[in-house]
Amino acid sequence: MMENNKEPLSLIIIIGFMLLLNLVLGVDSAEKFRITRHDFPNDFVFGSGTSAYQWEGAADEDGRTPSVWDTYAHDGYVHGGQNGDVACDGYHKYKEDVKLMVESGLEAYRFSISWSRLIPNGRGPVNPKALEFYNNLINELISNGIQPHVTLHNFDFPQALEDEYGGWISRKIVRDFTNYADVCFREFGDRVSYWITINEPNVFSLGGYDQGNGPPHHCSPPFCVNKSKRGNSTTEPYLALHHILLAHSSAVRLYRTKYKEKQNGFVGISVYSFGFFPNTTTEKDILAAQRARDFFVGWVMEPLLHGDYPTSMKKIAGTRIPTFTDRESKLVKGSYDFIGLIHYTNLNITDNSLVLESNLRDFSADMAVLMHGSDLFANAEYPIEPWGLIEELNHFKLNYGNPPMFIYENGQRTASNASLQDVSRVKYLQGYIGATLHSLRNGSNLKGYIAWSFIDLFELLDGYESSFGLYYVDRNDPELKRYPKLSAKWYSWFLKGRSFAVEAIELEKDSSHISIDHFFD
């Protein structure tokens, strides 16, 4: 289906050429160029990912206790009352799944450790059965030449710590998280070189502590999506994220002092980012888009870079956003070896500063914008707009110090009962991998691309109704048999060196909008 036809011209030259054609001749060119795995540096890794609660199942086996995500699902807040008790049964089927990864040619696999499986009460004794499972999984990956990228917290801290002191709203969690990280570094760090402390703390804090549409389901009226037993949407999102940054940097410091010399690994954090585009060219919409990026991304990135929150956030949230002491500021600043970017889709941003006249404001109101984008809560396919990824990577390059980065999640959502011929997922991956190469060649410090997700998972918002997997999981089959979708075959071809075509890169009038048209060959 695809020819192995490596195009010698670089993407940059092509873009320059097309630009020239468009500007000078005013014509659209249908010139095609091809992209292969070999256009990326040798040490750039391609992989795919899952996370513990979404993949493992075996929720109450071998000593695991519930996480806040178990509780959230069992309380009925996920589509159709679904939960991750069984998920993909990865706990028992990990060998089978690693075999599929090998067949697919994956170079890296990103997964997460279940804190409440490893340390069932959140602190204290380590569960030997969990050690055995994660050792087996890691060994299986390593012996097949697949690089593990391991997340420590993916929306799923132990319910025991939520019950005891309120989880992330208490500073006590900093010590417990650091001890948990210590166990992971000590037990697995001889084979794991890439650690992500906390996955998308921005979305976790917004969903879990403001709107209440994610675990641990804290929110206060009138900001709740569903009524909640506890919470304070005006303060808790800021507090939770503050403690996350302290816990993250404490784990990084621990790694650097106790493990780095011996294990030579890298510790980072992942951040969720939309593409933020002003809805109009008015100054207030341009400022609004910048403010939205400050609230979403700067919230995490500015403290990591400079040891403090963005000025725009401090001005608006006032005393509701915690203050870093000098000691904390020093601890947080520079506490990363790399940043993981999670990106799916774009938003058009309109200024909504009027809302700042109200005194009762949650994190979302503080942002003071209206967002328009593909509905996060609908079971719908994402538009393929890879210029949003290019735009965000440019911002990381220009405003956040161009850190080493992995794209840790990016992929197409479809209904889980959609066809195995998932052409839209193939087109999505082609567009975004094309954008990744474009950004790499324009100076972004990119180290890898990890597609979400390896197989169909229990998803945060839609349960089993929507899916992102390269492999389909037949949930009507008690064996939960996996079937490759077209996207799995396509990704495998690409990873094994075949090329794909990208056609007509053009810069539009608004230079922030680069559209990459691409089609399945």
Tokens of 453: 């997700």
Q: Which is nearer to ligand NAG, 135 or 280 (CB)?
A: 280
- Determine, following the binding rule CB under 6 A, whether residue 372 of this chain makes contact with ligand NAG: yes
Q: Which stretch binds ligand NAG (CB under 6 A): 158-166, 336-344, 391-399, 472-480?
A: 391-399
Question: What is the C-alpha separation between 161 and 145, in angstroms, rounded?
Answer: 36
Nearest distance in Å: CB 430, ligand NAG: 18
Cα–Cα distance for residue pair 7/386, rounded to 1 Å = 21
Is 394 a binder of ligand NAG (CB under 6 A)? Answer: yes
Is 423 a binding residue for ligand NAG by CB under 6 A? The answer is: no
By the rule CB under 6 A, 443 interacts with ligand NAG = yes
Q: Calculate Rg over the CA atoms of the chain.
A: 22
Say how far apart CA 386 and CA 469 lie, in whole Å: 19
* Cβ atoms of residues 383 and 425 within 8 Å: no
The only residue of 262, 415, 421, 508 in contact with ligand NAG, by rule CB under 6 A: 415
Based on the shown chain and the rule CB under 6 A, indicate whether residue 421 belongs to the binding site for ligand NAG.
no
To ligand NAG, the closest distance from the beta carbon of 201 in angstroms equals 20
Q: Measure CA 497 to chain center.
A: 26
Distance CA 250, CA 242 (A): 12
Q: How far apart are CA 463 and CA 477, in angstroms?
A: 17
Q: How far is the CB of 469 from ligand NAG (least distance, A)?
A: 16
> Reduced to 3 states, what is the DSSP secondary structure of residue 461?
coil
Nearest CA among 311, 323, 173, 195 for reference residue 247: 173
In DSSP terms, which residues pair with 415 in a beta bridge?
466
21 binds ligand NAG (CB under 6 A): no
Element (H, E) at 406: strand 405-409
Catalytic residue among 162, 187, 200, 328: 200
**How far, in Å, CA of 432 to CA of 425, rounded?**
11
At closest approach, how far in Å is the CB of 370 from ligand NAG?
5
* Cβ-based nearer residue to ligand NAG, 234 or 436: 234
The only residue of 54, 202, 228, 235 in contact with ligand NAG, by rule CB under 6 A: 235
Active-site entry in 56, 385, 409, 459: 409
154: closest CA among 118, 119, 196, 184?
A: 196
Are 88 and 57 in contact by the 8 Å Cβ rule? The answer is yes
Residue 373 is a binding residue for ligand NAG (CB under 6 A): yes
**Two structure tokens written together for 188:** 């697995």
CB of 200 to ligand NAG, least distance (A): 21
Shortest gap between Cβ of 152 and ligand NAG (angstroms)? 29
Residues 461-520 that bind ligand NAG (CB under 6 A): 514
For ligand NAG, the closer of residues 139 and 280 by Cβ is 280
Q: What angle do CA 475, 462, 465 make, to 5 degrees?
A: 35
The C-alpha atoms of residue 336 and residue 313 are separated, in whole angstroms, by 22
- Candidates 131, 286, 370, 504: give the one binding ligand NAG (CB under 6 A): 370
- Say whether residue 22 binds ligand NAG (CB under 6 A): no
417 is an interface residue for ligand NAG by CB under 6 A:
yes
> Rule CB under 6 A: is residue 226 a binding residue for ligand NAG?
yes
Q: Can 503 be counted among the known catalytic residues? A: no
Q: DSSP for 484-513?
A: E-HHHHHHHHHHTT--EEEEEEEE-SSTT-
234 binds ligand NAG (CB under 6 A): yes
Look up 3 and say whether it is catalytic: no
Apex CA 468: angle with CA 379 and CA 480, to 5°?
Answer: 105
Q: Does 390 bind ligand NAG (CB under 6 A)?
A: yes
* Interface residue list for ligand NAG (CB under 6 A): 76-77, 220, 225-226, 232, 234-235, 279-280, 348, 350, 370, 372-373, 390, 394, 397-398, 415, 417, 442-443, 514
